[in-house]
Amino acid sequence: MRLTRARIFLATGMLVAGAVTTTALAVSPAAAVSTQVVIVNCGGHGQVKPASYDIGCIANELLAKMKWTSWRTSAFGHGDLKVNNCTPTCAHGKFISYPVLLVAWRARPWPHHLGQRYFSRLTWIFTAKRPGHVPAAQTIVLPATR
């Protein structure tokens, strides 16, 4: 059988199509989902590189001005921890800002989100002044749902 240019192109196209189909079938359904690790916010939504985070969802302590320099299996950044002084009351208190370094870590499978992971720990390290009653570094457990 003599191979013509058309037959060679047709055969090459079929080989490429077969390879693409085989590769697509070899990839698990979970791999089709985003591989970015998230932080779960108060609404229960996952966020990649959030700019703020309400600790405890009560608005008396929150992380603000968050900037991330790395976001992989661990995330590194900086921001401000804003703490309500609750003086005279928490409703009328003033927020005091403390600069912190941030580390989001311990990525875990995110329940009910096939193939997704969330950071289950967040550590902040004070870089300057800090509230007198807290250590220089704190770690909190981040929930998978809120």
From CA 146, how far away is CA 144, in angstroms rounded? 7
Per-residue pLDDT at 102 = 98
Residues β-bridged to residue 104: 75, 122
The closest alpha carbon to 49, from 19, 70, 26, belongs to 70
pLDDT value at residue 27: 42
Which has the higher per-residue pLDDT, 53 or 10? 53
Task: Tell me: pLDDT of 18 over 60.
Answer: no
Task: Average the pLDDT over 51-59 and give the result.
Answer: 90
Say if residues 141 and 108 touch (Cβ distance below 8 Å). no
pLDDT surpasses 60 at 4:
no
**What CA–CA distance (Å, rounded) separates 139 from 102?**
10
- Residue 6 confidence (pLDDT) above 70: no
- 3-class secondary structure, 25: helix
Which residue from 139, 137, 144 is spatially nearest to 121, judged by alpha carbons? Answer: 139
Return the pLDDT at 55. 92
So where are the chain's domains?
A: 1-32, 34-141
Over the stretch 93-135, which tens digit does the pLDDT of each residue have? 999 999 999 999 999 999 999 999 999 999 999 999 998 888 9
| Higher-scoring residue by pLDDT: 4, 82 | 82
pTM of the model: 0.74
Instruction: Give the pLDDT band (50/70/90) at residue 56.
Output: confident
Q: Which two tokens stand for residue 94?
A: 């003033």
Give the pLDDT score at 26. Answer: 43
pLDDT the model gives residue 76 = 98
